[in-house]
Amino acid sequence: MREAYHDQLGQLAAELADMCAMAGDAMERATNALLGADLALAEQVIGDDAKIDDMRANIEEQAYALLALQAPVATDLRIVLAVIHASESVERMGDLALHVAKAARRRHPNHVLSDTVEPYFAEMGRIAVHLAREATGIIRTQDVARARSLEDDDDAMDDLHRHLFTVIMDKEWAHGVPSAVDTTLLGRFYERFADHAVSVAKRTVFVVTGRMPGYGGSSDEV
C-alpha cells in the first residue's frame, strides 16, 4: 500500500510538470503568433487552453483524494499542498498565454505591436518560455539551487516590463493610444507569466526544505 501511495505522489508531480511544459509551449506559440501575426498558431493556443484547465482539474481531484484517503504528513503533505497551489499558478500561466494569443487573433491580419516594441516582446517571450521550462525541470528534479537561480531571469523580465512604460510615455511615441494600450496589457501578461513560473519553483523549494523562499513575485492575481 505504501509503495502504491508513493507512486501516486510521484505521478501527481509528474502531471504537474507536464502541465507546466504545456504552458511553456503555449506561451512560445502565442509569442510567435504575436510577432508573426500568425492566426493559425493563435488559434492553436486558444484551442489547447482547455487541455491545461482539464489537467489542473484532474491534478486537484487526485490531490484531494490523497488528502482524504491517506492523511499525509510531513514531506508527503507538503508535496500534495504544493501541487495544489502550483497547479493554480500553472493554469494561470496558460491563461496568460491565451490572452496573448487572443490579442494576436483580434488584430489579425495586422500586427498588434509596433516595430518600436517588437524586439522587447521577443526577449520577454524568450524569458517567459525559459522560466516555464526551468520550472518544469525543477518540478521533476526538486533541485533547490536551480529553483533559486530563477530570480535573475525574473528580474530581467521585470526590467523589460518597466522599460516598456518609458518607451510608451516617450514624446517620440508615434503609434497612438490603442497601440499603447495593447503594449501595456501584453507587457503585463508576460510579467505575470514569469511571476507564476517563479511561484511554481518556490513551491518546490517548500517541498524540499519546508520553508517558502522570499524571492520573486506574488502569484495572487492573473
User: What are 101-148's pLDDT values in tens digits?
Assistant: 999 999 999 999 999 999 999 999 999 999 999 999 999 999 999 998
Q: What is the mean pLDDT of residues 200-221?
A: 72
Q: Where are the alpha helices (DSSP H) in 37-149?
A: 39-70, 74-107, 118-141, 144-148
Which run of H or of E encompasses 166? helix 150-169
pLDDT band at 221 (very low <50, low <70, confident <90, very high): very low
Q: Mean pLDDT check: name the lowest of 24-33, 65-74, 95-104, 148-157.
A: 65-74
Largest CA distance in the chain: 68
Q: 2-209, what's its fold?
A: Methane Monooxygenase Hydroxylase; Chain G, domain 1 (1.20.58)
pLDDT band at 13 (very low <50, low <70, confident <90, very high): very high
DSSP string, 38-57: -HHHHHHHHHHHHHHHHHHH
Question: Given a cut of 90, is residue 1 above it in pLDDT?
Answer: no
For the chain, what are the domain ranges? 2-209
Question: Given a cut of 50, is residue 170 above it in pLDDT?
Answer: yes
Q: CA of 122: how far to CAs of 64, 77, 170, 208, in Å?
A: 39, 40, 21, 34
Q: What is the pLDDT of residue 217?
A: 43
Distance of CA 99 to the CA centre of its chain: 12
Q: Mean pLDDT check: name the lowest of 19-28, 68-77, 120-129, 182-191.
A: 68-77
Which residues have C-beta within 8 Å of that of residue 114, sequence separation ≥ 6? 175, 179, 183
Q: Mean pLDDT check: name the lowest of 15-19, 25-29, 139-143, 214-218.
A: 214-218
pLDDT band at 218 (very low <50, low <70, confident <90, very high): very low
pTM: 0.91
Calculate what percentage of the chain has a pLDDT beyond 90: 78
